[in-house]
A and B are shown apart, each in its own frame.
Chain A
Amino acid sequence: MSTASIVADVGVEEPQLPPKIAPTDRRKARQARALVLPALIVSLVLTQIPFIVTIVVSFTTWNQLRPEDTGFAGFDNYLTVFANGDFLSSLWATVLITGSSVVLSLGIGLGFALLLDRKFLGQGIARTLMITPFLVMPAAASLIWKFLMLDVNNGMVNVALNAVGLPSVAWNTDLPPVTIIVVMTWQFTPFMMLILLAGLQSQSREVLEAASVDGAGKIRTFQHMTLPHLRQYIEIAVLLGGIMLLQLFDPIAIMTKGTGGTKTLPYLLYERAFIGLDIGQAAAFGVITVIITLAVASIALRSLFKVFVEGKVR
């Protein structure tokens, strides 16, 4: 209704702009909309119903092992979320672990992307090998790191440390957040590398040649030509990598079990729902997580990321 009237108004006031839509076109448009409608309804139902159910559940008392004791809880679940202090410490752990992993994997990924961008013998093989960690399932990766790499007696990392005369490190006991960050960085460096490599390869060779003709050194070329060109790719890599790392649960469940500041939001949610068996409380945690994520994401997307800002202007 409203769109139709706007279209009509525009047509009256500024006849030289879009020509009046012919009745046949309008019928076609209506037809098109009708055809899209089922898909739209299905996707709305599929995406929004679960969330609405979560909101409803978050206001109920519902412990799986106390089926007789369910009912409306009001804001009790939300009060618990903020009262017991788990949420804020978990939020901080999430920011710390995800943030460090994103920054580290981006930095290392950029380094590898620059190296792989050169021509050398066996480039294809090197590239495939570099991507492998990203293809390993997170659970398998965590097990590899736990038993083969970081094991205190015969893990490769500790054997290497001993070889240079340093003592073994009890990673899970003494440095839980570092352990998780190491595994996550290892897994996501190839992802960052791939996106940045695509960016590097889309850079025009002529521009680089021109720069070198003008007498710019390698570092200056990188700083003033390559890096600005890569900006959009870095933004996309950070955004996608951040989203994926935010959800990563396996290393924590397998290696540290949430001790020592590694209880991230996904693990906390899992613990509330599957260990605490408190579905109501877990739902409340979930709703608050969604609200915070939405707030952070919309601010970040609108202000920090050039990709989205430019898209809006266009």
Chain B
Amino acid sequence: MLGYKRAVGVGASLTAIAVVLSGCAGAGGGGGDDGDVTLTLATVSNPQMKDMEELKGSFEEQNPGVTVNFVQMEEGDLRAAVTADVASKAGQYDIVTAGAYEVPQWGELGWLKNLTPDLEDDADYDVDDLLEPVRTAISVDDKQYAVPFYGESSITMYNKEMFDAAGLEMPNNPTWQQIADFAKQLDTPEHAGICLRGKPGWGDLFAPLTTVVQTFGGTWYDEDWNAQVNAPEFKEAVNFYVDLLEESGEPDPVSNSFTECLNLLSSGKVAMWYDASVAASILEDPESSEVAGKMGYAHAPVVETEESGWLWSWNLAIPETTKNYDEALAFVKWATSKEYHQLVGEELGWTRVPPGARNSTYEIPEYQEAAAAFAPITLEVMNSVDPVQPGVNPQPWVGIQYVTIPEFQDVGNQVAQLVADAIAGRTTVDEALEQGQPIAQTAGDKQK
């Protein structure tokens, strides 16, 4: 009996060791003995990335001997994995997905390959077709460190039925004051006037709120990295946002970010929403949304600037440590090519084509038809935002709803927690921002 148990135990541990070893081989095995290449792609698990995995067979057919292995991770884990990989020069990953916030930082640290020469040399790839603001956001000193896979901006989305019932009309370029007036009139016991993110986090609350701050004339840092969190413009903008939520926003805002607001809007519980343009494709899907076909879309609301949408893209980049650069480059080009967009449209459906990456996508007739409600405005907004100077004054970094310094996640999170206290009425906005100022300044001092 004991002997049997021991045998089971030994067997189990051997299996465990075997699993661990084969796991290592799978992740680290760059080139095989017979010239075959396995590319390891570390990616966040977004729907568009899953589509890419589904279609990778097409790339493998065109490139015999190359297989692509997808490793899905959470955003935070991905960062840790890439950091460790690059620091230890292990070369585990041949391709990584990185957000617009990380690409310039990782590029400057020398973690990513500069793709500019290779992309420009290939006339078929047509690098100039990529949306200019997105390219700007992922380049440092004219060196492009990644290729946009898909991108988004932020727009105003509104329920046309509710607007008609109240006799209101949304202009194409609304101001925040107009939005506040509309929200007040549309706020009824059945539905709230507007949904805005209140969940504390640099990527939650502060994504839309930073664009509000910028169009009110405020900014996180001035040109010399002096924090401007307690400046009058910043305070005015946050006060406006908090008052708007208080007067005609959704109940329990601190619980809400993108997904929660999306649910509220698609079930007809709110009349308006200012958030990521990518939401439009979900709102227009009759299977998941009760308001499909009833929605209208407009530019992001403004005050002092011409345009106030944010800019975000998920990109494919090649770590400096890869041992299969040529094959990795071929895959990156394939996944962001015009042909790939055609392939997605034909195989998976035209609404699933990655948006906000290539201008030519918006000229495909099938795509125009499938995405008629939101494609034109997405392209219009994305081509008119300015990541170099989104606010009223020049800023020392490139990017709209974030600051491309490593400390920003932390600063954004902490200040967002303070603002959430103000939303709940436990402190005032002014007090919260006075507390946030030194937090932001400590991070700013490190950039000087």
Contacts and interface: CB of A to CB of B under 8 A. Distances in A.
Interface string B83-125: 1000100000000000000000100010000000000000000
A271 interface: yes
B255 A172 contact: yes
B389 interface: no
A65 B406 contact: yes
B333 to A, nearest CB: 28
Interface string B231-260: 000000000000000000011111100000
Contacts of A64: 79-80, 83, 406
Contacts of A176: 254, 424
Query: Chain A at the B interface: mostly helix, strand, loop or mixed?
Result: loop
A275 B252 CA distance: 25
A84 to B, nearest CB: 8
A241 to B, nearest CB: 27
Contact of B420 (A146, A255, A260): A260
B424 A260 contact: yes
B410 A170 contact: no
A67 B88 CA distance: 11
Given A64-B80, A173-B254, A260 B410 contact: no
B426 interface: yes
A271 B254 contact: no
A220 B269 CA distance: 55
Nearest to A167: B251
B254 A259 contact: yes
A109 interface: no
B420 A65 contact: no
Nearest to A276: B410
Interface string A157-189: 000000000001011111010000000000000
B383 interface: no
A277 B79 CA distance: 10
B228 interface: no
A206 to B, nearest CB: 40
Contacts of B87: 67
Given A259-B420, A276-B410, A277-B406, A173 B255 contact: yes
A127 interface: no
Nearest to A173: B254
A276 B443 CA distance: 11
A170 B256 CA distance: 11
A312 interface: no
Given A259-B417, A275-B413, A172 B76 contact: no
Interface string B415-438: 001001101111000000000000
Interface string A249-264: 0000001111110010
Contact of B424 (A68, A173, A257): A173
Interface in A21-76: 63-68
B417 A170 contact: no
A276 B413 CA distance: 9
Given A173-B252, A173-B255, A274-B76, A257 B199 contact: yes
A257 B269 contact: no
A235 to B, nearest CB: 35
A259 B413 contact: no
Contacts of A195: none
B402 to A, nearest CB: 13
B105 A65 contact: yes
A152 interface: yes
A67 B80 contact: no
Interface string B245-287: 0000011111100000000100001000000000000000000
A153 interface: yes
A172 B424 CA distance: 9
Nearest to B414: A271
Residue among B250, B251, B253, B406 with the most chain A CB within 10 A? B251
Interface in B17-61: none
A152 B255 contact: yes
Contacts of B198: 173
Contacts of A277: 406, 409-410
A169 B87 CA distance: 48
Contacts of B410: 271, 275-278
A146 B254 CA distance: 12
A256 B254 contact: yes
B356 interface: no
A234 B62 CA distance: 68
B201 interface: yes
B200 interface: yes
Residue among B83, B253, B255 with the most chain A CB within 10 A? B255
Interface string A225-264: 0000000000000000000000000000001111110010
A68 B421 CA distance: 36
A53 to B, nearest CB: 16
A66 B420 CA distance: 29
Contacts of A278: 410
B85 to A, nearest CB: 12
Which 3 A-B residue pairings sit nearest by Cβ, starting from the closest?
A65-B406, A170-B252, A152-B252
Interface of A: 63-68, 146, 151-153, 168, 170-174, 176, 255-260, 263, 271, 274-278
Given A153-B264, A271-B413, 12 more contacts: A64-B83, A67-B83, A67-B87, A152-B255, A171-B252, A174-B425, A255-B255, A257-B199, A257-B413, A259-B417, A259-B420, A263-B417
13 contacts: A63-B406, A64-B83, A152-B255, A168-B251, A170-B251, A171-B255, A172-B252, A173-B253, A257-B199, A257-B413, A271-B413, A274-B76, A276-B407
Interface of B: 76, 79-80, 83, 87, 105, 109, 198-201, 204, 250-255, 264, 269, 406-407, 409-410, 413, 417, 420-421, 423-426
